[in-house]
A and B are shown apart, each in its own frame.
Chain A
Amino acid sequence: MTNHWRDIRHADLILINGANPAEAHPVGFQWFMRAKLDRGAKIIHADPRFTRTSAVADMYLRIRTGSDVAYFGGLINHVLQNNLFHDAYVRNYTNASFIVKQGYAFNDGLFSGYNPDGRTYNIATWSYESDSATGFARRDMTLQDPLSVFQLMKTHYSRYTPEVVSSITGIPVADFNKVADLVGQMGKPDKVMTIVYAVGLTHHTTGGQLIRSGAVLQLLLGNMGRPGGGMNAERGHANIQGNTDHAISWEILPGYLRIPAPGQKTIADYVAQSAPKKSDKNSWNFFGTNYSKFMVSTLKAWYGDAAKKDNEFAFNFVPKPAQNSSWMSIYDQALKGKMEGLMLSGMTAASIGPDSNQVQSALGKLKWLVIMDALPTTSSEFWRAPGADPSQIKTEVFMLPATHWIEKDGSFVNSGRWSQWKDQVLPPQGQARHDHWILAELFQRVKKLYQSQGGKFPDPILTLTFDYKDPLKPELDEIAREINGKDLTTGKQMTTFANLKDDGTTTTGDWIYTGSYPDSGNLMKRRGGIQDPKTNDPTGMGFYPNWSWSWPLNRRVMYNRASADLDGKAWDPSRPGITWDGSKWVGDVPDYPATMNPHDPNAYLPFIMNGEGVGRLFSNGMVDGPFPEHYEPVESPVANPLHPNNSASPVAFLYDKAAGRPNRFGTPQEFPYIATSYRLTEHEHYVTQHVPHLVQLQPKPFVEIPYELAGQKGIKSGDRVRVSSKRGKVEVLALVTKRLGPMTVAGQKVYQIGIPIHWGYVGISADSDPSHGRYWLANALTPFVGDANARTPEFKAFLVNLEKM
């Protein structure tokens, strides 16, 4: 989230796409209802399925899954065509005025630079025309230059008329126009809208662009950086946020530094290829400018005295991947026989999928598999899943009992970036051990093996810092101090990342957490909450700066310089983020130098983290286009109405095809119905299959089937049905409902089927089922393909058939 849960109460209009917060984040949803009840905010819910969120929304739009770029694109078009954008914000706080290089083009669904053999773009033409004198990007503040981002964007989205939007999304034109009217009012400075989304937007081959299309709309309306505004992702697990920040992710190091690439020999090479470049004279480019300081300080934290100036601070100790190494790549490599071992903690590959049958084949091709979990999972049990022959599965499997959250301390970071410390309440149950103690001891044993036997490049293993009182049992408090970092000259804890250096005299484990644990103590433990609002919420805006700690630097709304106008006054004085009081910025922790006078001719532009200094309506940061464009899901019942010759994403990576494995995508002739997957209030992914009360509340797997389609098939609620895709099937109970219904898409009648994901062959329900949940894995149906940028699987839009059993 750019903002945070409590902040949603400040919105005038709430767009919810790809999310069902009333059921999936019910307690967070109280802040949506506060906006509605206290300030008369309107809620618009666009979702394939009518849910409890829809029930309290002012408008519900039945949208075809995966078509939200067309929805947001239509809203962008409405705002541009009718001059409803926030003019001063768009001119000064976005790259609308930047001039794009000659050669940029978009024709028949393809941007310039496309290479059909490699299914990739050369993005050279997706860049700015630079001024020969300054080297910075040329700008036209009138926004009239035909090569300005503003004009190119206006042309790009002119195709997204209400009729086209309706044809793609299935939303009736009249309903879309009503939404457009409401959204169009949100460009006024005294109005603010928020967009809230979840994995219903990310789980698509166009996931990244689905989110960018919302962000572009928010920039046009001047809603980024403002209380009550922003782009707000609702994350689904207690600590997805914290452990993304800490880079359990193939492409990054802590704090969103890029993983180095082959060919980079020095820190300078690395920074040159990784850090944003300054493209306007008033851009601070804070991230780019300080990139080497963050990197060197991290290397010092990891390799201590072995990281020296004369060895580039051990830069060559950091692995440099040859290719994408994300979730699906792990199983792809296993299927190719190239992956020997896999360690899973709190994740179950067999249930998560996508294409669970293929993933289970991959698990069976590993030499060894380690599961660290408190409870059995479908991955720990995959070798004896119903229908499997254990004697034929050669994988050596280890089940290591790990402690639960309540048996250890440490922080969880919520969707709003609030890092909240928790106590250890209970001792470990049975022989359970903490995950980090398991890893510490494994690492020390491996280190001993290298010390005694030698082996491939042992240097990083032998020198990795372990400055803990007991190297086999590090305390999370010790690790929290390491993450914050220290000044090696004074021995003091760092208080801000602004003081980190690239000369080897400072450390940080993750620069965005610098300041969370100064010498005065662990700020994540702070508990100044609503028991005393006068003391703990001095602005009255609900920032609660004395409750826990949020990154960066305890800032509660990111990009908050953009909440104030050019003079430093709040766009809406009733909802200020930060404001200039004549000598300093007051309010939230400023995302800006604390005393920089906005009238200084050298004052920085508001978006200090990127090279432009302004929000990017046009970006070369994505591999699939500088503007979001609608592409069909890889499996779709219709051709793309905008460009049928280039219907689906031209750059989504096709694993099976690239590996020479047989095709696993279905056609609409064999699989005529659209399916989407989702979660229920009473379950959390798969672990709650072990929680008796929750199993009682939602005991059995089911699929939701539209009433009209069920009628055609003679299916009644409670009947057993088979839902199948090219990849597998589920055999579960039918729930016939009017929450789903027929839609007209590209002139064709289509149905969507809803599939909750929570069941499998492990848990209380499976134990009492005669087939032991043999065909209960929802992800047996989902396709092994993902977003062109992030490789997030397309869990939310695929084709199935439906039969009564």
Chain B
Amino acid sequence: MAGAGALAASGLGFDIAVAESTRVRQSLRIAGAKEQHSICPYCAVGCSLVAYTRQTSNGTTELLQIEGDPDSPVNEGRLCPKGATAMQLAISPRRVESPQYRASGATGWKSVSWDFVLDKIANNIKASRDASFVTTDGNGNTVNRCEGIAFAGGAAFSSEEGYFATKLMRGLGLVHLEQQARV
């Protein structure tokens, strides 16, 4: 009966005295961790995230936890199933670990170096640009456009990267420039 009384008095739904007597000393998983801020990578509500990391003894960074940021006027700490599992997008054994190359007609990928792919793509860009570049159109107008290369992307990378992509692609003379907004 004493227990029932304490339960009612605590208002917590459990007996504090019992809980105290059986308490196991625990530390938080994020104790001592570095706290940083991010934004959910999925939809455009723009939920703020708190990410906790710790440096391990071998010098790598361990991601311990991602949770909703309670200070945000957008999400007030809440996350949906996608945001709540963002750790599994951040750290994944399915990631492409190195540049891959599939030659014309080849039946498989070949792991290659960054230097190899960047060199080949730069040469492709130059060749396609020179082959499809129109300086003057049929009406004699200066148009300086590259018709044979397209770039599409950007809904998943930072705004500053997007601005940079626009600047570089327009610099190359591209007219076919697209991202997820239209589709």
Contacts and interface: CB of A to CB of B under 8 A. Distances in A.
Nearest to A510: B163
A47 interface: no
A352 B100 CA distance: 23
Given A322-B143, A435-B153, 19 more contacts: A26-B80, A234-B44, A236-B43, A240-B44, A243-B159, A262-B139, A263-B139, A343-B152, A352-B183, A367-B128, A398-B102, A425-B90, A456-B135, A457-B133, A529-B72, A536-B73, A684-B43, A690-B94, A692-B88
Contacts of A330: 150, 152, 176, 178
Interface string A418-461: 11101101110111111110111111011011100101110011
B160 A410 contact: yes
A339 B85 contact: no
Contacts of A413: 44, 46, 159
A793 interface: yes
Contacts of B183: 327, 352-354, 792-793, 795
Contacts, number: 500
B73 A415 contact: no
B175 interface: yes
B102 A339 contact: no
Interface stretch (A245-253, A286-294, A580-588, A718-726): A245-253
Given A240-B179, A327-B152, A684-B82, A418 B43 contact: no
Interface string B27-70: 00000000011111111111110010100000001010000011
Interface string A506-539: 0001100000000000000001011100001100
Contacts of A329: 176
A790 B131 CA distance: 29
Contacts of A439: 161, 164-165, 168
Given A319-B146, A345-B153, A411 B178 contact: no
A198 to B, nearest CB: 10
15 contacts: A28-B43, A244-B179, A316-B144, A318-B144, A322-B175, A341-B149, A345-B157, A347-B180, A399-B99, A404-B90, A414-B45, A446-B125, A449-B122, A449-B123, A461-B172
B145 to A, nearest CB: 4
Contacts of B23: none
Interface in A321-353: 321-322, 325-327, 329-330, 333, 338-347, 349, 352-353
Contact of A457 (B80, B126, B135, B164): B135
Contacts of B44: 25, 234-241, 413-415
Give the most central of A241, A254, A373, A425: most B CB within 10 Å: A425
Given A236-B44, A240-B181, A343-B151, A374 B95 contact: yes
Interface residues of B, number: 118
Given A239-B159, A479-B160, A527-B37, A249 B181 contact: yes
A390 B63 CA distance: 39
B95 A544 contact: no
Contacts of B160: 410-411, 436, 476, 479-480, 483
A682 B81 contact: yes
